[in-house]
Amino acid sequence: MALARGRRTSSEFNYWPGFVDALSTLILAIIFILSVFVVTQFYLSQEVTGKDKALEQLNAKIAQLNELLSLEKLGKLNLTDQLSQMRAGLASAEAERDRAKSLYEGLASSGTDATGRANELGKALDSEKQVSARALAQVEVLNQQISALRRQLAALEEALDASEKRDKESQLRITDLGQRLNVALAQRVQELSRYRSEFFGRLRTILGDRPDIRIVGDRFVFQSEVFFDTGQAALLPEGRAELDKLADALKDLDKKIPSEIPWVLRVDGHTDARPISSPQFKSNWELSSARAISVVQYLVSLGVPAQRLVAAGFAEYQPLDTGTTEEAYKRNRRIELKLTER
């Protein structure tokens, strides 16, 4: 009776369903493109996140090396100042020594009366020599420390240059990896699109031109009446016959698609907006899910690999027609098949 009503209704000339189909097709196409973009961005972000963490660790090490280099440069400046002061003291001591030596020589030439003064000046001169010797020793130590600091600075600068080089190489590898990932994702999408087109073309040929089976965007849409009685989730004989044809096409498709492409056929169950409450189903969620599961289980029994099937229930929350007429309710009661990636 439901099919008879469908034929009487389809004979009427009504522009509105065609317009809604076209609009729904456009919306579903946009949603598909956005879904592909989101999946692509998700995998890319997962790949890039690991590289970002490694880059953050490398930047932290570079910052630590820069800080150590700054401390070493500050220490070098302090040692240079000390060396300058020691050299100035040494020059002053040498000048005083020379002055005392001159006085000593002058006093020695003046006679024996100045012997005592000369002895004192000699002691002063010896003392100045000792001071000069200590100053020279300190200067030598400082020179050694400055040489050691210069070697450390050279090593740090070399390490910093190496880190910067590795950082640039990492950036180049990340950029190259992102480009290769984008190319790989685009190739996978193109491959799956090609197999989807072949699959839908074969289904169109197998199922024929029926008003209760149509293509909307990237999915096949079956009216629920093809498979189920009202409010039930048990497959009708007519529905099993249609699924027999679908199973053959799916098994052939599984042989053609490369194993590395993670494709699945998603079976979506949809109901109309009228609530249901029966001993078997307490809500439209349960009814739509049970119908999708019945289709999946039957396909598995026909030899379709279970890992290639997904059952989903959407209840009344994804309508094709927002009207409240019997025709709108009928359009929304449907089973959708979509070939997509896992």
Query: Do 221 and 283 reside in the same domain of the chain?
Result: yes
Could you tell me if 6 and 127 lie in one domain? Answer: no
Q: Which of 155, 185, 215 is the last residue of a domain?
A: 185
Q: Are residue 178 and residue 97 in the same domain, yes or no?
A: yes
pLDDT tens, N- to C-terminus, the chain (342 residues): 444 444 444 455 666 777 777 888 888 888 888 888 787 777 777 766 766 776 777 777 777 777 777 777 777 777 777 777 777 777 777 777 777 667 656 655 655 555 666 677 677 777 777 777 777 787 777 788 887 878 887 887 788 888 777 877 777 777 666 666 554 444 554 555 665 566 555 555 655 555 556 776 678 888 999 999 999 999 999 999 989 988 888 888 878 877 777 888 999 999 999 999 888 999 999 999 999 999 999 999 999 999 999 999 999 999 999 999 999 999 999 999 888 877
| Angle (deg, nearest 10), helices 115-207 and 15-110 | 170
Count, residues in the chain: 342
Q: Do residue 139 and residue 194 come from a single domain?
A: no
Q: What's the pLDDT score for residue 284?
A: 96
Instruction: Output the pLDDT for position 306.
Output: 93
pTM for this predicted structure: 0.45
Are 134 and 163 found together in one domain?
yes
Residues 98 and 223 in one domain: no
CB under 8 Å to 103, separation ≥6 — which residues?
121
Contact present, 288 and 275 (Cβ < 8 Å): no
Could you tell me which residues come within 8 angstroms of residue 153 by beta carbon, excluding any fewer than 6 positions away?
69, 72, 73, 76
- Domain containing 80 — which CATH number? 1.10.287.1490
Beta strands in 115-250 (DSSP E): 213-216, 219-223
Domain boundary among 185, 218, 237: 185
Residue 313: count of CB within 10 angstroms of its CB = 21
21 and 150 inside one domain: no
162 & 107 share domain: yes
Q: What is the pLDDT of residue 254?
A: 79
Residue 107: predicted pLDDT: 55
Q: Residue 111: its pLDDT value, please?
A: 52
Cα angle 335, 338, 341 (rounded to 5 degrees) comes to 145
SS3 for 243?
A: helix
Q: From CA 99, how far away is CA 104, in angstroms rounded?
A: 9
The amino acid at residue 111 is G
Identify whether residues 170 and 195 lie together within a single domain.
no
Total of domains in the chain: 2
CATH of the domain at 15: 3.30.1330.60
Q: Which domain holds residue 148?
A: 50-185
End position of a domain, from candidates 185, 218, 236: 185
Separation between Cα atoms, residue 223 and residue 321, nearest integer Å: 13
Q: Are residues 197 and 333 in the same domain?
A: yes
